[in-house]
């Protein structure tokens, strides 16, 4: 076994398949997430087309249930989460002045497991029907669902969930251990803070999901009876397990977006974030309360007035830290000199839209009133206001904001505005009427409705809005495609006059991020240096050799192994399952016995790079 640091340069495809560089993994997360976002969007459009008029017969019964299940599952687990983890990968190490994440190998493994989990979930479409029991997979509908759709859901989520858990742990360790000198916790940018808390939520929320999915799997594959009332099981246990995971999950999605909004609003208002400490406090408090409120998804289950009331009050309490955040953003705007770039317009449009989703959330927290809202279109409107009006608007803001840092290109601003207006107007057209559809008695997850109940016009408007959102996303895709042209190349590492460390790095970002680890002298470190008249960060160390990790193909092979094992479990081919697990175990063994000390980028190369930047 070699103990000498050595390095093999790979290029092209092989480089991407073996990379452990957080920037490349981040890009793959982003592109993978956007790909699944398109699939989930097409599923949504199919549903809206079915509901455009009463008693339509385009996608009925089982097919519609598959669409709604796959739309929810895809958007939450395979679009929103990977896109946000993509941003975390690309940005968090740069914001804290690190050269990579703490566990680069694990990082790559997390990505490949997400990707193969997503592919596995979607295999259902081609192998006899996708999952059809809702993204919540309530038993006994999920345990008795015919075909293998739900099995693909279980195994797909199990594989990708393990990847997400690894990602969460990785970011916790990275943020705790790898901050540059001077980057204290209370100087961390808000995006890093929210990523940190979201990672903490991943750490505590995903294990319950893993357990629950194993129970579901045992029930479907090995005839266990956890949720089967006929044999002494209890279907409500699944609801608890799912929502103990599921509620923190929505905060895992929204917290990093709060971070993005904080960065973007502050940068383009040219002001430091108003009430930074209270922002951090609110983030941590929201993260804590996230685990205290899961029963508000289950108010109608019949748990009784006492538990319902306790969880109702806990739920309402979340409005307080969230309100603090909203007002802090408003007062970051107040007194600023705002530039309306596309990134900022997305972020500013987030604020009122998210507030609208937030207030319906407080309304839903009152159990007796929730008995009317629950599982109606009112709820559909509410969670799309917080997930599309919150997460997606924020993600688009982050995409336009960090695009130059991640891809060394700027997105076209004119197309950006077209993208924004189509999507933003389409969004409100789609989801605003749905509040009223719910109040007028329309249940959610229905494939059709009868005429004469005042539901027809609003459903029609909703579908038109959805088509507009679709157009908006096409414009975004076009914008990203044309940005490949060298016309859109950026030369400056700091195109927005930024405040945080990622903008202190030249473009394109060197493999080692920081030639010299920077010395952080305050909140918004780059802004601090700019205010002091410095053009760049003060280094905390002399130029020296930089230690880097080697790439590895093992994460990919390991994920393929688990993917194969998944098929074995779904089709009850134990040999195939064994082979798949075996591949994974062998990869783990190889990883353990092969000493890989990485390699060094030598001082001379770094110095040459530095001269290149200055020339």
Partner 1 sequence: MGFYEVMKKWLQKGRLVPLFAMMAFMLMGCGDPTISTLNPQGQVAKDQYSLMVLSIAIMTLVLVVVFLIYIIALFRFRAKKGDDSIPKQVEGNHLAEITWTVIPIILLIILAVPGVYGTFKASAGDKAPKNQIDLKVTAHQFWWEFEYPKEGVVTSQELVLPKNTKVHVELSSQDVLHSFWIPSLAGKTDTNPGDGTKTYTWLETGKTERVYKGKCAELCGASHALMDFKVKVVSESEYKDWLTNMKSATAKSTADTAAGQKVFKQNCMSCHAVGKDGGNTAPNLTGFGDKERIAGILDHNKENLKKWIHDPQKVKPGNNMPKFGGKLSDEDIDAVADYLMSLKLK
What residues numbered 544-583 form the site for partner 1, per CB under 8 A? Answer: none
Segment 481 to 520, residues that bind partner 1, using CB under 8 A: none
Segment 352 to 371, residues that bind partner 1, using CB under 8 A: 352, 355-356, 359-360, 362-363, 365-371
CA 519 remoteness from chain centre: 30
Q: Which stretch binds partner 1 (CB under 8 A): 7-15, 101-109, 138-146, 157-165?
A: 138-146
- Site map (CB under 8 A) of partner 1, residues 210-229, x = contact: -------------------x
Segment 427 to 466, residues that bind partner 1, using CB under 8 A: 436, 439-441, 443-450, 452-454
Segment 374 to 393, residues that bind partner 1, using CB under 8 A: 374-376
User: Which residue's structure tokens are 């989930």?
Assistant: 40
Closest CB 527 distance from partner 1, rounded Å: 8
Q: Indicate which single residue of 10, 53, 339, 547 sits in contact with partner 1 (rule: CB under 8 A).
A: 339
Nearer to partner 1, 331 or 488 (CB): 331
Closest CB 340 distance from partner 1, rounded Å: 7
Q: Does 522 bind partner 1 (CB under 8 A)?
A: no
Closest CB 423 distance from partner 1, rounded Å: 19
Taking the CA atoms of 210, 212, 215 and 217 in sequence, report the sign of the dihedral they define.
negative
Q: Which helix (H) or strand (E) element contains residue 546?
A: strand 546-548
Segment 280 to 309, residues that bind partner 1, using CB under 8 A: 300-302, 304-305, 308-309
Contacts with partner 1: how many residues (CB under 8 A)?
91
Q: Does 54 bind partner 1 (CB under 8 A)?
A: no
Tokens of 295: 């029963």
Q: Which helix (H) or strand (E) element contains residue 204?
A: helix 190-221
- Site map (CB under 8 A) of partner 1, residues 57-76, x = contact: ---xxx-xx--x--------
Alpha-carbon distance of 345 to 561, in angstroms, equals 44
Alpha-carbon distance of 79 to 136, in angstroms, equals 17
Segment 318 to 337, residues that bind partner 1, using CB under 8 A: 319-320, 323-324, 326-328, 330-331, 333-337
CA 27 remoteness from chain centre: 13
Nearer to partner 1, 52 or 543 (CB): 52
Nearer to partner 1, 196 or 449 (CB): 449
CA 413 remoteness from chain centre: 25
How many Cα atoms occupy the beta-carbon half-sphere of 307 within 13 Å?
14
Cβ atoms within 10 Å, residue 574: 10
Q: Which stretch binds partner 1 (CB under 8 A): 100-108, 134-142, 160-168, 551-559?
A: 134-142
Alpha-carbon distance of 534 to 526, in angstroms, equals 9
Residues 6+ apart with CB under 8 A from 481: none
Closest CB 268 distance from partner 1, rounded Å: 8
First to last CA, the chain: 43
Torsion of CA 232, 236, 239, 241, to 10 degrees: -50
Q: Indicate which single residue of 58, 351, 467, 586 sits in contact with partner 1 (rule: CB under 8 A).
A: 351
Nearer to partner 1, 371 or 574 (CB): 371
Buried-exposed string 35-59: b where 16+ CB fall within 10 A, e elsewhere: ebbebbbebbbbbbebbbeeeeeeb
Q: Indicate which single residue of 316, 540, 610, 613 sits in contact with partner 1 (rule: CB under 8 A).
A: 316
Closest among 368, 395, 397, 194 to 276, alpha carbons compared:
194
Segment 234 to 263, residues that bind partner 1, using CB under 8 A: 234-236
Closest CB 153 distance from partner 1, rounded Å: 14
Segment 142 to 171, residues that bind partner 1, using CB under 8 A: 144
Nearer to partner 1, 206 or 350 (CB): 350
Nearer to partner 1, 337 or 611 (CB): 337
Tokens of 255: 């917290």
Q: Which stretch binds partner 1 (CB under 8 A): 83-91, 232-240, 255-263, 406-414?
A: 232-240
Residues 6+ apart with CB under 8 A from 17: 553, 556
Closest among 132, 227, 210 to 168, alpha carbons compared:
210
Residues 6+ apart with CB under 8 A from 286: 197, 251, 255, 318, 321, 322
User: Which residue's structure tokens are 């009317």?
Assistant: 372
Closest CB 317 distance from partner 1, rounded Å: 7
Segment 79 to 108, residues that bind partner 1, using CB under 8 A: none
Cβ atoms within 10 Å, residue 5: 15
Closest CB 443 distance from partner 1, rounded Å: 5
Q: Is the backbone of residue 330 left (phi > 0), alpha (psi -120 to 50) or beta?
A: alpha
């Amino acid at each position: 076994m070699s103990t000498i640091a050595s390095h093999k340069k790979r290029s092209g495809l092989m480089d991407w398949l073996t990379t452990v560089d957080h920037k490349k993994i981040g890009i793959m997360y982003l592109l993978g997430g956007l790909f699944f976002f398109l699939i989930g969007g097409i599923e949504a459009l199919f549903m809206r087309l079915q509901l455009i008029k009463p008693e339509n017969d385009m996608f009925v019964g089982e097919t519609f249930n598959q669409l709604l299940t796959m739309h929810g599952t895809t958007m939450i687990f395979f679009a929103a989460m990977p896109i946000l983890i993509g941003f975390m990968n690309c940005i968090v190490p740069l914001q804290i002045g690190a050269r990579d994440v703490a566990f680069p190998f694990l990082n790559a493994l997390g990505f490949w497991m997400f990707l193969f989990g997503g592919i596995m979930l979607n295999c259902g479409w081609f192998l006899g029907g996708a999952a059809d029991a809702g993204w919540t997979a309530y038993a006994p509908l999920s345990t008795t669902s015919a075909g293998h759709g739900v099995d693909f859901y279980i195994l797909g989520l199990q594989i990708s969930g393990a990847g997400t858990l690894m990602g969460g742990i990785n970011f916790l360790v990275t943020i705790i251990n790898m901050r540059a000198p001077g980057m204290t916790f209370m100087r961390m940018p808000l995006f890093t803070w929210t990523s940190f808390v979201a990672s903490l939520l991943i750490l505590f929320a995903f294990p319950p999901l893993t357990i629950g999915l194993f129970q579901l799997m045992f029930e479907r594959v090995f005839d266990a009876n956890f949720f089967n009332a006929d044999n002494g099981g209890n279907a409500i246990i699944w609801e608890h397990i799912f929502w103990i995971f599921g509620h923190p999950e929505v905060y895992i999605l929204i917290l990093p977006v709060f971070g993005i909004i904080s960065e973007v609003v502050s940068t383009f208002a040219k002001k430091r974030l108003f009430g930074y400490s209270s922002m951090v406090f609110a983030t941590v408090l929201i993260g804590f309360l996230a685990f205290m409120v899961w029963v508000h998804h289950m108010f109608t289950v019949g748990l009784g007035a006492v538990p319902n009331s306790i969880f109702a009050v806990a739920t309402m309490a979340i409005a307080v830290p969230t309100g603090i955040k909203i007002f802090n953003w408003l007062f970051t705007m107040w007194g600023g000199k705002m530039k309306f770039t596309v990134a900022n317009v997305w972020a500013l449009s987030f604020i009122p839209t998210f507030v609208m989703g937030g207030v319906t959330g407080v309304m839903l927290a009152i159990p007796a009133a929730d008995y009317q809202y629950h599982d109606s279109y009112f709820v559909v409107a509410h969670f799309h206001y917080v997930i599309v009006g919150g997460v997606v608007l924020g993600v688009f803001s982050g995409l336009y904001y960090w695009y130059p840092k991640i891809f060394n290109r700027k997105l076209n601003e004119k197309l950006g505005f077209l993208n924004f207006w189509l999507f933003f107007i389409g969004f409100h057209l789609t989801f605003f009427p749905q509040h009223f559809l719910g109040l007028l008695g329309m249940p959610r997850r229905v494939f059709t409705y009868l005429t004469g109940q005042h539901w027809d016009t609003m459903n029609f408007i909703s579908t038109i809005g959805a088509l507009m959102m679709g157009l908006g996303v096409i414009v975004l895709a076009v914008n990203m495609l044309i940005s490949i042209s060298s016309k859109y190349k950026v030369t400056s590492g700091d195109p927005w006059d930024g405040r945080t460390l990622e903008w202190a790095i030249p473009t394109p970002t060197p493999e080692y991020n920081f030639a010299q680890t920077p010395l952080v002298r305050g909140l918004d470190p780059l802004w601090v240096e700019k205010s002091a008249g410095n053009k760049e960060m003060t280094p905390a160390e002399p130029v020296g050799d930089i230690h880097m990790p080697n790439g590895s193909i093992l994460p990919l092979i390991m994920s393929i192994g688990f993917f194969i094992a998944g098929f074995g479990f779904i089709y009850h081919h134990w040999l195939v399952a064994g082979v798949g697990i075996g591949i994974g175990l062998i990869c783990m063994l190889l990883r353990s016995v092969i000493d890989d000390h990485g390699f060094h980028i030598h001082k001379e190369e770094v110095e040459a790079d530095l001269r290149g930047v200055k020339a």
